[in-house]
Amino acid sequence: MEKLIFFLSIFTWIAITAFIFPKASASGEKMIGAGWILLISSGILLLMLAVLSYIMFQHGLFQWINQADGVRKILMVCGFLAAAYALVSSIMIRLEWGSYSEENTKGLVAMILYYSIIWLPLLIFIPYGYILFVVKQGESVPVIFRTMLIVLSVIGFVSWLKIQSVKYSVPRQSDQTGQSPYYQRDLGMIQSSHSVDELLQFALNHDNLELRKISLDKIRTLPDRDEQLIAMLNDCPKGYNYTSPILYLNDYPTLERAVFVKALNNVLECMSSKVHEIMQDPERTSDALEALPIIKMVKLLSSQYQYYREDFEENMQILKSELEANPKGRFEDLRKDYVSLIDQWMVEK
C-alpha cells in the first residue's frame, strides 16, 4: 500500500511541475482555473505524503529520529509540517516568478530558487524511496538520507521564519519611509514594462496613488498603446483582461476613436455570449454577471462614441435580447438594471 502511495506522490509531483514550470503568466478565468488546479493537486500531494509518513512511522522506519516515542512523534510532526511548507513555497516561487523585479531574478541564488520546484521534492522522495524499498524494520538509515530529510525540514522552517520576520518588519519600514517596502520593486517593474496589460494592473489596482499616476503616464508614452488596447479588447473570448481597456478608455479617452469601433463591437458580441453562457449554467452566480463590464461599456459608448451609434446598435440589441431572455429567471433585478441602461442608450440623440 505504502509503495503505491509513494509512486502516486511522485506522479502528482511530476504533474504539478509539468503544469506550472513552462507556463507563462495567465489572467482572468485562466489564472483562477490554474490556481484551483494547483491548490487541489498540491493538497492531494501533501495528503499522500502525510499518509505515507504515518504508515512508515507505524512500521518503525523513523526510529532513528529519537528513541523516546513521544519526542519522536513531536519531531516527526514538526519536521513534516516544515517540509510541507518548503514544498508549497517552491510551487509559489515558480507561480509568482513573473511578479519579481528583474534584479531579484538574476544570480545563482535566484536560479536555485527558480528550480526549487524540481530539486526540493527530491529531498523527500529519494530518502523515502530508499527507506521504503531498502531499509527493513529496525535497520539503520544511512546518514546521507537522514541529512536530506533534515535539510528539507530546516529549509521549510527557515523559510517560515523569514516570512514572519518580513511580515512584522513591514509596518516599521512603512512608518520610517512613508512608502511600502515594495514601492521600489513595483516602480522598477513599471519603468521597465512596455506592456499596456501589465501597466494597467498598476494603474487601476495599485494602492499607491503615485505609482498609479506613473503607470498612466507610462501608458501614454507607448507608441503602440492603441494597438495593445485593441488586442486586449479582442481577447474577450479567452479571458477577462479585456475589462481593463474599457475602464481605462472611460477615464482616458483616445483621439483615434474610429480604430476602436470594431474591437468594441467584438466585446459586445463576446459579452452577449457570456451572458448566454451564464444564464444556461445553473452553477454560475450573480457575481459572474456583475463581473461583465456592461455598465462601463454602455457609459463608454454613450460618452465617447455618439457619432458611431449605428455601428453598435445591432450588437447592443443582441446583448439586450440575451439579458431579457427568460425574464422571470435568475438575476432578474440585475438584468433589468442592465436592460434599462441599454434602453437609455438607445433613445439618446
Instruction: Calculate ∠ Cα 87-89-95, nearest 5°.
Output: 115
Helix (H) or strand (E) holding 284: none
Q: Are residues 334 and 233 in the same domain?
A: yes
Domain that holds residue 246: 223-347
Determine, yes or no, domain membership for 40: yes
pLDDT at 167 over 50: no
106 and 39 assigned to the same domain: yes
37 & 114 share domain = yes
How far is the C-alpha of 275 from the C-alpha of 289, rounded, in Å? 7
Identify the pLDDT of residue 36: 74
- State the cell numbers at 26: 495567465
- Between CA 105 and CA 94 the distance in angstroms is 11
Q: Which of 117, 144, 177 is the last residue of a domain?
A: 177
Whether the pLDDT of residue 101 is over 80: the answer is no
Burial letters 118-128, b for 16+ CB under 10 A, else e:
eebbebbeebb
Task: Please check the confidence at residue 278 and state whether its pLDDT lies above 60.
Answer: yes
Are 155 and 79 in contact, with CB atoms under 8 Å apart? Answer: no
Are 250 and 237 a contacting pair, CB within 8 Å?
no
**Residue 210 domain flag:** no
Domain-located, residue 190:
no
pLDDT for residue 25: 44
172 and 277 within one domain: no
- Residues 291, 28: contact at Cβ < 8 Å? no
Name the domain count of the chain: 2
Q: Between 314 and 186, where is the model more confident?
A: 314
Decide: pTM greater than 0.75: no
Does 168 lie in the same domain as 242? no
Confidence band (pLDDT; 50, 70, 90) for 35? low
Tell me, yes or no, whether 122 and 62 share the same domain: yes
pLDDT at 23 over 70: no
Is residue 300 within 8 A of residue 250, CB to CB? The reply is yes
Asked whether residue 198 carries a pLDDT value surpassing 70, the answer given is yes
Residue 93: per-residue pLDDT: 77
Please say if the pLDDT value at position 162 is more than 80: no
Mean pLDDT, all residues of the chain: 82
Query: What confidence score (pLDDT) does residue 262 get?
Result: 94
More confident residue, 138 or 9: 9
Same domain, 163 and 312: no
254, 300 Cβ separation under 8 angstroms: no
- Co-location of 173 and 288 in the same domain: no
